[in-house]
Each structure stands twice: as structure tokens, then as C-alpha cells.
Amino acid sequence: MNRIMGKTSKPKAKRVVRLSRVDQERLMRGEIATPEEALHIHDAPPVRPEFPAQRDANQGMGTYGRAGQANKSLSPHERELLENLPPHFGKI
């Protein structure tokens, strides 16, 4: 039948990953539920975790809020640094 259709259907290959001896022992003891979980245990966390309160307050805003006002989440020193703009040196 494959000759009639002109195509041979190959079964999908499943990727195989070999676990380390330590991860195999952890899997046997029940510390990890699946082999896939062992692969992602030591993944790095997000570089800048986003907290729900900050996400809602800063939604759609960059470093500055509306009309050039610094966000309330910044410390007074950080706001001072952001508002400290160099003087204008003439025409560009």
C-alpha cells in the first residue's frame, strides 16, 4: 500500500535523554516525579522577577510615568538621578 501512495510514513522519533546516576536515584526515591522534571530543576530563575503589584502599577509605563513623572516605586535617590537632566548646550 505504501508503494501505491508513493510515501512511506515514518513513526515520529521520541527524543531520549539519559539521566545522571544521581537523578536516577532521586527518581527512584520519589524526589522527582518525572525524568523531564530533572532536566529543569536547575534552570535559572528570571533575571528580573516581576511582582504582581508592580506589574499592575507600571502597566504601559516605562521608567517615567505620565507627563515625565517618575514612578512611585523608585526611591527618592533614584528619582533624583532620573530627573537630573544635563543642560542644553545650544542647537543640535
Q: Let me know if residue 62 belongs to a domain.
A: no
Number of domains within the chain: 1
Q: Let me know if residue 8 belongs to a domain.
A: no
Cell of 76: 527618592
Question: What is 27-67 written as a DSSP string?
Answer: HHHTSSSSHHHHHHTTPPPPSSPPPHHHHHHTTT--SB-GG
Per-residue pLDDT of 7-35, as tens digits, reads 667 778 777 778 899 999 999 999 989 88
Per-residue pLDDT of 50-79, as tens digits, reads 666 655 555 555 555 444 554 567 888 888
Q: Let me know if residue 25 belongs to a domain.
A: yes
The domain containing residue 35 runs over which residues? 17-44
Q: Let me know if residue 1 belongs to a domain.
A: no
